[in-house]
Amino acid sequence: MDINLLAFGIIAEITGKSAWKMAGIKDTNELINNLETQFPALSTTSFSIAVNRKVIQDNIIFNENDTIALLPPFSGG
């Protein structure tokens, strides 16, 4: 199963990419573990996850071709 990842702000800087696909990731917990292994700086970086444009708080299971956005903290202004 493939998922589509989008990264913004500091997350894109850390990963060196703004969009890519990942295979074999079943849920948000596995995604976070995988990302922190590939990009250790993410383990100390605060970010939110949106699945198909909806920010989520809990672990969810992905569906084929879901779009997952990695969102840095937003500042007001």
CATH label of the domain that carries residue 49: 3.10.20.30
Predicted confidence (pLDDT) per residue in 46-77, tens digit:
999 999 999 999 999 999 999 999 999 887 65
Tokens read off for 59: 């672990």
Which residue range forms the structural domain that includes residue 62? 2-71
**pTM exceeds 0.85:** yes
Average pLDDT for the chain: 96
Q: Taking the CB of residue 56, how many other CB atoms lie within 10 A of it?
A: 13
Of 18, 9, 26, 11, which Cα lies nearest the Cα of 64?
A: 26
Name residues whose C-beta falls within 8 Å of residue 29's C-beta, 6 or more positions apart in sequence.
Answer: 59
**Predicted local distance difference test score (pLDDT) of residue 76:** 66
Is 77 inside any structural domain? no
How many domains are there within the chain? 1
